[in-house]
Structure 1
Amino acid sequence: MTDETSNTYLRQLGVWDSAAIVIGGVIGAGIFRTPATVAERTASGLPLLALWAIGGLLTLAGVLCYAELGARRPQAGGIYIYLREAFGPLPAFLFGWTMALINYPGSVAAVATTFADYFCRAGGLPIWWVKPVAIGAIVFIVGVNLFGIRAGAWMQNLFTLLKLAAVVMLLVVGLALSHGHLGGVLAVDTTHEVPSGAWVGALLPVLFTYGGFHYLNDMAGEVRDPQRTLPRALTLGLIGVVVCYLLVNMAYLIGLGHVGLAASKAPAADLMSHIFGLRGVTIMAIGIACSTFGYCSIAIAGGARVLQTMGADGMFFHSVGHIESRWHAPRVALAALGGWAIVLILTGSFGQLLDYTTVGEWLGHAFGIATLFWYRRRFANQPVPYRVPLYPLLPFLFVATVLGVIIATVIHSPWDAGMSVVIIAIGVPVYALWRRSQVTSRR
């Protein structure tokens, strides 16, 4: 049923459209704030830049694995499809239960609120405007995506260019503040002592800032020539992100120095204010608003495709699995995800939900990449246009890294990790009841 439904999507996304989805899904608000946290846990610019490079290489290992998985199964649904084929419907349902029903709308609600916060700051609007602006952004994004992936891609391409412009602006300002010397990049921070092993704690926020590269696989059913386009777009998009992240961190180090970066609460705004004053803060607020708006667009489009695939599989309401015939858009799924995100904004509960589902999200990544071992064994002789290099090293490295992140999360936030397990466990009886109801309705 899923294959038939996914074939009704129109394959309209080219390499640039797809690469823009990767870039837009990864670059949100994190790069404008997270480097300060990493600087607090490092002693100088050299290890800081090294951590961002290592995080990028580890993420690239996962991206290359996703490229092969997407080339093998170029249809909407991403990890949900891979888990269903490799491990059966229950693990796939638990992933969808955790992500499409909780994490995706929670992410949309959180980032839409961040967008609204910066939008209101840039426009001088009072704080009580934040929720209405966030809700309005979600309604607008859903409305555009109702007219198909082409309309959504045009909007996404625009906001990807705007967030790249913000990155370029930070780099130019950093170079302008360097006055011809780059000593701040490698200067050692002697103001605080960094304990041994602190690099592990510094790597965690780096890896989280690299998250979001999986959205393109969720929309693989709308990619042209997917066996070739998906690997190219995933690789080019992630390499573009790594370059942007390294350049932005260099700009921070050049303009603020390692000491200033570690002490900053908003490094992007602080960097801009050195040249443009309060106007620079406003300019950066506009840049971050554009970046977060673009992320929301991708998360809504990608999450809706997972919901639609679940509905088509009989794992969710049948109406959610419908694809509108004129614009070839999952309109009911888009409305459902957007509506649930709005409810989360109104109740203010999205922060806790995101904390509670972090472990589930990373488990989904680990098991999703692990399906590659199953595909290689099960379809050993099947010709595939793209195979991940250095197999099985790269998928093993990524899975091991993800498991390390999960262990670190459990140690750092045992309550949140425990609640994540509870949410996943609740999905087991829900799955049993849902399957029973489906069998009864067919009689």
Structure 2
Amino acid sequence: MTDETSNSYLRRLGVWDGAAIVVGGVIGGGIFRTPATVAKQTGAGLPLLTLWAIGGLLTLAGVLCYGELGARRPQAGGIYIYLREAFGSLPAFLFGWTMALINYPGSVAAVATTFADYFCHACGLTDVWVKPSAVGAIVFIVGVNLFGIRAGAWMQNLFTILKLAAIAMLVVVGLALAHGHFGRVLAVDTAHPVPSGAWIGALLPVLFAYGGFHYLNDLAGEVRDPQRTLPRALAMGMIGVVVCYLLVNVAYLTGLGHAGLAASIAPAADVMSNIFGARGATLMAIGIACSTFGYCSIAIAGGARVLQTMGADGMFFRSVGRIDPRWRAPQIALAVLGAWAIVLILTGTFDQLLDYTTVGEWLGHAFGIATLFWYRRRFADQPLPYRVPWYPVIPFVFVATVFGVIVATVISKPQDAGMSLLIIALGIPVYAVWRYWERRRTG
């Protein structure tokens, strides 16, 4: 897309804006809860930290690949664009069907509800205010983004700073609780013995906690000098996330010990409560509320760009593909995505949807990065300021690992994985009907 036409995006995002989007898209509410789940599947602090380091390295491998893909096709839509060019319209539609219509609004609904839980706790409101607060957050975020990416970026940058401040506070308090006894980090948890090798299965929730790094590619049509900015922003943001995640887990282990972390429902609040009591838990609730609110902002902005691109391609309602000529924002797509997320909140169906679409999301990542092999063959001589180092090792390792995780998921959770694959398969007849309807309408 070019900047000259009124039905196009404007390139207004710089390196720091992009890095903030990466940080905000990955760090939502997962790091405040997932470490407890991982601790239950490990037997000591060392394998737990090793898993978070491995997950970080694998995600960095994916980010390096996304940097080249974004530089090759700096357009809104991200993976949808790559799949459409490399594998055709059907795989691209199935990705959009799974993500833009189910996973994006489902994740927004889930995280907005998490935001509302902590927001109400911090404000002393009863549970009756949770759903109204979640709906209000989505309406506010959509409203700000209607005025273009610059307005959304200012809001996102603010909440990225706030969430990093919350993480810094958590790390400082966790390390302060250690009182020099860093042996707790590596201590074996005799209260929760785990069979040898069983902790490898805990890599799945770790990878899910690292998810969300693709949102910047969804917004690539609004990045300045994308061939250089996208790789830099992706790398800066993801390295920052890995460092934060490792430090937070060290803080959990030093503050609670492995057994305490495995037994905790809300480890971040428990760490803060150990020093500041109820006020500490309230302070942490505010920090988590800021973190989850920021994630919702990015997911809505990125998901709307995928919907808009599908609409412009004729893979969704044509009106959704319209970009407002004044604010250069996909206003109809934003409204559709926000409205559908609100429906999921009010009906309470988002948790099951997310369980059923997780495999589809990571399949999308695997096939999206696999398009890099096609681009390298088809456009071997295309000049680029950035290419994935150690090609083809890095993309191959990422794709192979993701498929391995998916196989492990199918074995451990056959019902959820089966439903995920069924949802993807249901997109095939929908695609056929939609293409037939489009031919009739345009023919």
Shift of 1:3: 10
User: Residues 46 and 265 (structure 1 numbering): CA distance in 2 closer, same or farther, change over 3 Å?
Assistant: same
Asked if structure 2 preserves the Cα contact closer than 8 Å seen for 1:311 and 1:317, the reply is: yes
Q: Distance in 1 between matches of 2:59 and 2:199?
A: 17
Further displaced range: 260-269 or 11-20 = 260-269
Deviations 1:338-374 (Å, cap 9, x if unpaired)? 0010111111111111111111111111110100000
Match of 1:128 in 2: 128
**Mapping 1:27-426, distance limit 5 Å:** 27-426=27-426
Shift of 1:43: 2.2
Matched to 1:326, the amino acid is R
Q: Distance in 2 between matches of 1:85 and 1:233?
A: 24
Shift of 1:192: 2.9
Shift of 1:6: 9.9
Matched to 2:271, the amino acid is L
Q: Distance in 2 between matches of 1:442 and 1:348?
A: 38
Q: Distance in 2 between matches of 1:236 and 1:2?
A: 27
Further displaced range: 41-50 or 430-439 = 41-50
SS state at 1:11 partner: coil
Matched to 1:431, the amino acid is Y
Matched to 2:285, the amino acid is A
Shift of 1:429: 1.2
Matched to 2:89, the amino acid is P
Match of 2:427 in 1: 427
Shift of 1:187: 1.9
Deviations 1:114-138 (Å, cap 9, x if unpaired)? 1001111111111111110000000
Q: Distance in 2 between matches of 1:95 and 1:6?
A: 28
Shift of 1:204: 1.1
Further displaced range: 416-425 or 276-285 = 416-425
Shift of 1:417: 1.3
SS state at 1:43 partner: coil
Q: Distance in 2 between matches of 1:3 and 1:222?
A: 9
Q: Distance in 1 between matches of 2:49 and 2:300?
A: 32
Q: Distance in 2 between matches of 1:99 and 1:3?
A: 27
Deviations 1:239-269 (Å, cap 9, x if unpaired)? 0000000110111111111121122111100
Q: Distance in 2 between matches of 1:297 and 1:391?
A: 34
Shift of 1:64: 0.4
Further displaced range: 220-229 or 185-194 = 185-194
User: Residues 6 and 210 (structure 1 numbering): CA distance in 2 closer, same or farther, change over 3 Å?
Assistant: farther
Q: Distance in 1 between matches of 2:208 and 2:95?
A: 19
Asked if structure 1 preserves the Cα contact closer than 8 Å seen for 2:3 and 2:10, the reply is: no
Asked if structure 2 preserves the Cα contact closer than 8 Å seen for 1:5 and 1:323, the reply is: no
Shift of 1:191: 2.2
Match of 1:12 in 2: 12
Asked if structure 2 preserves the Cα contact closer than 8 Å seen for 1:83 and 1:89, the reply is: yes
Q: Distance in 1 between matches of 2:25 and 2:7?
A: 24
SS state at 2:37 partner: helix
Paired-residue identity, %: 82
Q: Distance in 1 between matches of 2:192 and 2:313?
A: 55
Deviations 1:125-164 (Å, cap 9, x if unpaired)? 1111111000000000000000000000000001101110
Q: Distance in 2 between matches of 1:147 and 1:369?
A: 32
Q: Distance in 2 between matches of 1:195 and 1:5?
A: 61
TM score, norm. by length of structure 1: 0.98
Asked if structure 2 preserves the Cα contact closer than 8 Å seen for 1:94 and 1:427, the reply is: yes
Further displaced range: 411-420 or 211-220 = 411-420
Q: Distance in 2 between matches of 1:396 and 1:159?
A: 35
Q: Distance in 2 between matches of 1:363 and 1:191?
A: 36
User: Residues 6 and 242 (structure 1 numbering): CA distance in 2 closer, same or farther, change over 3 Å?
Assistant: farther
Consecutive unaligned residues in structure 2, runs of 5 or more = none
Q: Distance in 2 between matches of 1:88 and 1:161?
A: 40
SS state at 2:25 partner: helix
Deviations 1:395-427 (Å, cap 9, x if unpaired)? 011001111121111112211111112211111
User: Residues 346 and 4 (structure 1 numbering): CA distance in 2 closer, same or farther, change over 3 Å?
Assistant: farther
Q: Distance in 2 between matches of 1:3 and 1:21?
A: 22
Q: Distance in 2 between matches of 1:297 and 1:61?
A: 25
Q: Distance in 2 between matches of 1:68 and 1:388?
A: 6
Q: Distance in 2 between matches of 1:184 and 1:204?
A: 25
SS state at 2:248 partner: helix
Matched to 1:65, the amino acid is C
Asked if structure 1 preserves the Cα contact closer than 8 Å seen for 2:192 and 2:259, the reply is: no
Match of 1:24 in 2: 24
Matched to 1:366, the amino acid is A
Matched to 1:345, the amino acid is I
Q: Distance in 1 between matches of 2:192 and 2:427?
A: 46
Q: Distance in 2 between matches of 1:245 and 1:290?
A: 17
Deviations 1:81-113 (Å, cap 9, x if unpaired)? 000000001110111011101110011011101
Q: Distance in 2 between matches of 1:51 and 1:392?
A: 24
Matched to 1:96, the amino acid is G
Q: Distance in 1 between matches of 2:211 and 2:21?
A: 13
Task: Give the length in aligned residue pairs.
Answer: 443
Shift of 1:7: 7.4
Shift of 1:175: 2.1
